[in-house]
Structure 1
């Protein structure tokens, strides 16, 4: 039996009988959500190996070259609030169409960029465009997918994104070696256009054809930013601390730590990264099923609680001077537990989004979460200059904060 969140969507998704509820495994979900997520991530991954080579072709140093990655992340972060506003005012369907179109345009322009500054601007706009499609799809899932299917829908979307991201660099490396550093961006642009086809034929995520454009001024602007944010501050706290918890892991700072603390080389780190990806991939899909089957809290609390314990254990291992074997075991445990939380925060955001302002709410939600994920690597590195153990303890404390907020403020979705 489902139980509504305070401030959660209370539209027809919560009132349909189980027989009529749209399924996360439906043909509509596959074509409207999972397939375009995979294709877009595949294109992004194909471009990854070409980015360093293209940056070097402009004669810049490493510090400046890293700005290509930073520009994309910054565009992704900056895009959250404007995209939310655009979705509420123009509807999610136009935004989901405009996103891949802009992505394709930026990719084609990157292939013909004449200066490093131009490349930085294009990557920034590419990050903004990526946010457009993702937020439009999250808004569609928030409205169209029933609560008992929403966890799978969101987690499996991110799972397909990870699948594309894993497969893309291998293809990108081959394309770069054959046709040069600019050719992967042509392929990326073409794939972005291909990803539009499912959106055109399968416009909504929940198996229902709904009107995605707001039905007037009151629907788009009748709720203020203050009314969106203040009643849901504890939920935003969950998003913030979850971002702080995940940031250093997603930024691969644990690999950087292993290189300095245990003197691992590129090949050894590559083995660790590949092993971590192979472990996390199936668990991400499993997490969505668990959230819908057993409830959000019964999945998220063990996940974040386990991350807190594993990070604390890594901190203790540095203070005790334990060997590489201990690090590898604790690292893989942390990866497994982190994967168990995959998609959970976005699922909670979809659960609690107010029906009259889904776009703006999800814009703030992702801004807060990504802000935490952007800030935490810098905090991790700053603490590491003093003591590696303090860095791991920082992640552990953030994970504990997530658990505390979940227990106190977020009601369970299953009884």
Structure 2
């Protein structure tokens, strides 16, 4: 059993005064996540209208979405380096501050390239805050708390994005297209306030509740030392990214539009139903990971995703009715929600104390790289082969995650 396996099995992690349900967790994690996601959701309805106002084609206008995703991906490794170099508090504060600045500058953008650049830095800023919080949870939380802290943080993110678009549409219709971005900036500053109050830069606490000096560890690790002992975990996050990518990119809605000729209203009902279904499951998954262990939650989830995607492939090959698709769609979305925050929790579990930020940067880059690559593969298979092969590709990625977890990843245990 290697160093990483021993740390997972024995639960040899620092004990924090901040439990998964506490005022510290609310102020430092849940509330900022909710506020930032609410701001993102408020700005969402105005983005297509703003892009269209520059009189560009649909393909060019889609750059406002792509630029955000690229910025999100580009920030992973630099944010990790910044955490190791300057501390996670500076990154958690810098993320919302940069978000507020870019949101305000969007109001004054006069050209489409300016908007693209600002959207890139908006995505960069969003990743900075997430990276800082993951590093904080990795260091300060026990194994028995991390599942809930990570999953519930992303659950707050989903809550804000569910409520934000309706509010954003109202704001834009009443005060103009630029108004949602002003609201976004104000909310980012509010999140900055709550995050700065709750953020700490690395103070550890002993089991007695008193501050304890950080253990003496090497300040740097080579990439070889960071990656090789944890290579299987990078495989888990990569294949998990391949699994969730098509769902996150809404390609299943695109499939429904082409295959079943669904209109915007019908797809809207599916999207809203999926969001409402996923919301409570994400919170339940966090509790399950801490109560029963990571593998006991993740393996059934990814095996279920593999079977549901295979069933969707069968429905595509057999050209089954819309009713079958809707049932299988909701089953697949629910199982995806069960696995949502689990991979990030595992990353927080195995992050090395000597290079926590760098590891999490590489970890997030690998997972999001898979999530960015899979929609391209899914679309190519659908176009060049058939829809069924696209679903089988997603099923294979989910099965690969389950295999790696079963064969190579130990169950997480807490010492207490």
Verify: 1:411 aligned to 2:407, yes or no.
Answer: no
- Report the counterpart of residue 176 of structure 1 in structure 2: 172
User: What is residue 99 of structure 1 aligned with on the other side?
Assistant: 95
Deviation of residue 6 (structure 1)?
2.4
C-alpha displacement at 1:7, in angstroms?
7.1
**What CA distance in whole angstroms lies between the structure 2 residues aligned with 1:6 and 1:46?**
43
What residue number does 1:391 align with?
Answer: 390
CA contact (8 A) 1:141 1:206 kept: no
Structure 1 residue 231 displacement after superposition: 1.3
Cα shift at 1:22:
3.5
Does the 8 Å CA contact 1:84/1:359 hold for their aligned counterparts?
Answer: yes
- Structure 2 distance, partners of 1:60, 1:198, is 39
- Tell me the TM-score normalized by structure 1: 0.94
- Alignment check: 8 A CA contact 1:68 1:120 kept: yes
* RMSD (Å), alpha carbons: 2.3
Residue aligning to 1:256: 254
Match for 1:136 among 129, 132, 135?
A: 132
- 1:349-364 counterparts in 2 under 5 A? 349-364=347-362
Q: Once the two structures are superposed, what CA deviation does each residue of 1:21-57 show, in whole Å capped at 9, x if it has no partner? A: 6410011001100000000010011000000110011
Counterpart of 2:223 (choices 210, 222, 225) is 225
Take 2:319 and 2:195, find their aligned partners in 1: how far apart are those partners? 53
8 Å Cα contact 2:10/2:413 also seen in 1? no
Which residue number corresponds to residue 84 of structure 1?
Answer: 80
Retained in 2: the 8 A contact 1:5–1:413? Answer: no
Unaligned runs of 5+ in 2: none
- Regions of 4+ moved over 4 Å: 7-13, 205-211, 213-216
Q: Unpaired segments of 5 or more residues in structure 1? A: none
Shift of 1:201: 1.7
CA positional deviation for 1:183: 1.0
> CA–CA distance in 1 between the matches of 2:14 and 2:200?
18
- Cα-to-partner distance string for 1:323-345 (whole Å, 9 max, x where unaligned): 01110110010011111101000
Tell me the equivalent position of 2:367.
369
Q: Distance in 2 between matches of 1:109 and 1:314?
A: 44
Residue 314 (1) aligns with residue 312 (2): yes
1:215 offset after TM fit, Å? 9.8
Residue 47 (structure 1) aligned to one of 34, 43, 46: 43
* Inter-partner Cα distance in structure 2 for 1:10 and 1:187: 46
Q: Deviations over 1:166-217 (max 9, x none)?
A: 1111110001111111111111011000001122221249996799x9999x
**Across the two proteins, how many residue pairs are aligned to each other?**
406
- The match for 2:290 is 292
